[in-house]
Amino acid sequence: MVKNSQENVFLGNEMISKKDGILHIDGYKIEEIAEKYGTPLYIMSETQIKNNFEKYTQAFNRYTEETGKEVIFSFAYKANTNLAITTLLNKMGCGADVVSSGELYIAKLSKVPSNKIVFNGNCKLVEEIKMGIETDIRAFNVDGISDLILINETAKEMGKIANVSFRVNPNVDPKTHPKISTGLKKNKFGLDIEDGTALKAIKMALEMENVNVVGIHCHIGSQLTQIDPFIEEANKLMEFIVSLSEEGIKMRDLNIGGGLGIPYDKNTKIPVQDDLAKAVIDTIMTYSDKIELPNLIIEPGRSIVGTSGILVGKTIHRKETKVANWIMIDAGMNDMMRPAIYEAYHEITPCTIREGTEEVLNIAGGLCESSDVFGKDRKIPTIQVGDYVAVLDVGAYGISMANNYNSRGKPAMVLTNENEISLIRERESLSDLIAKDRVPNHLL
């Protein structure tokens, strides 16, 4: 497979380029990758993932320099749990934010140090709590009083002590899609600061024998496109930590969650890691004369892997009606759910760009749902049967939300860098679809 030199940046992925009308990633022709590995196909740029993560470490290094405290990045595994991706991030020093025994299992396989693993979720199961305690994770982020009680009881049965932080709900509007807002009073997550529930839970924990109180946690939402909500969140959290210190309760860690967005379209200006770091650090530092500042934990997901991935499908049919021109590709909503469930916008482009041939097209999959549409009324270069089409910025919540609806196998995934292309997920076969099914004897 022949590499070509890079030309021009396409949206947030610095590794996607166009040369002589042909789309490339990490210098490789996307069409050639698709021909070799088949479609639907996820392509992830290792180079872009590294770039995105390094921007975080560089931006937040100032906090350690000025306070002497740790900054821990715990990648939100919900965004992408592919083992190659999580292993890559571990090698770069990134931890894990997990919400299930499956994600914790992957973190352990990725060799993530236990002191960089945090466990979130508003309905933790006993077996998940046991696994977290056995792994000696940095903290369970307690979501409610019953959650705290279950953690303590489970730890007592095991003869262990579990580290706990408290996920608080600060009632901050993240100004994002309502389905991915998590820090308002009406959301299901966290302990209310304002009505005293959070303080009550912490004081209960201090009386328990099998939990160790280590911090405060908060996550206000995903795909945040403004900095102000982060500032409001940091202020409310620090005010709460100061009030706790006045009662003699010291917190080792402050976990501000994640949520920084990415530029899904050309017209949306998104804050970058430097903007987030400056806002958060400046806010926290204003409290340095009141308390000893805590270690800082951040849970980025989308902003690390989102721009690094594309989904490639092959055009199977064109359908022209009186009201729309449809492009039918072999990727569908089972491969990438975001447009169907959030009406999320993703840039779409043919991998061979015929300049001067723009037309208005609808790009859809072949599933039995009207919501199986990647983009409507897109003015893009013409697409012909047999052309490859790329849906951009799908590295987060793409493969991790893929499913087998319509009995379709989940797609393959490859990882690119400047030296090679590696298969990091095999395409599911027909036999994979029924591998866990069982037919009772009376039906045989």
- Is residue 97 very low, low, confident or very high in pLDDT (cuts 50, 70, 90)? very high
Annotated binding site for substrate: 302, 338, 342, 369, 397
**Contact between residue 358 and residue 344 where contact means Cβ atoms under 8 Å apart:** no
Residue 181 has pLDDT above 50, yes or no: no
**Pairing state of beta strands 41-45 and 309-320?**
antiparallel
Q: Per the annotation, where are the binding residues for pyridoxal 5'-phosphate?
A: 259, 299-302, 397
User: Domain 69-300 is classified in which CATH homologous superfamily?
Assistant: Alanine racemase (3.20.20.10)
Query: pLDDT digit string (tens) for 355-398?
Result: 889 999 999 999 999 999 999 999 999 999 999 999 999 999 99
pLDDT band of residue 220 (cuts 50, 70, 90) is confident
Half-sphere exposure (CA, 13 Å, Cβ side) for 167? Answer: 27
pLDDT range class, residue 8, cuts 50, 70, 90 = very low
Q: What is the mean pLDDT of residues 27-33?
A: 97
> Omega before 229 cis (within 30°)?
no
Confidence bin at 429 (pLDDT 50/70/90): very high
| Contact (CB, 8 A) for 81 and 402 | no
Q: What confidence tens digit (pLDDT) does each residue in 160-172 have? A: 999 999 999 876 6
Q: Does 254 score more than 80 pLDDT?
A: yes
Domain with CATH 3.20.20.10 in the chain: 69-300
- Based on the residue annotation, tell me whether 94 is a catalytic residue of this protein: no
pLDDT in tens, 55-68: 999 999 999 999 99
Strands (DSSP E) found in 153-308 = 162-169, 191-192, 211-217, 253-255, 295-298
What letter would DSSP give residue 223?
Answer: S
| pLDDT (mean) for 79-102 | 98
Q: Where in the chain is the domain with CATH 2.40.37.10?
A: 16-45+307-433
Radius of gyration, alpha carbons of the chain: 23
Measure the CA–CA gap between 329 and 387, rounded to whole angstroms. 9
pLDDT value at residue 194: 86
d(CA 79, CA 387): 29
Residue 72 has pLDDT above 90, yes or no: yes
Please state the residue numbers annotated as binding site: 259, 299-302, 338, 342, 369, 397
CB 174 within 8 A of CB 163: no
Of the residues 94, 218, 351, 368, only one is catalytic, namely 368
Query: If one looks up domain 16-45+307-433 in CATH, what number appears?
Result: 2.40.37.10
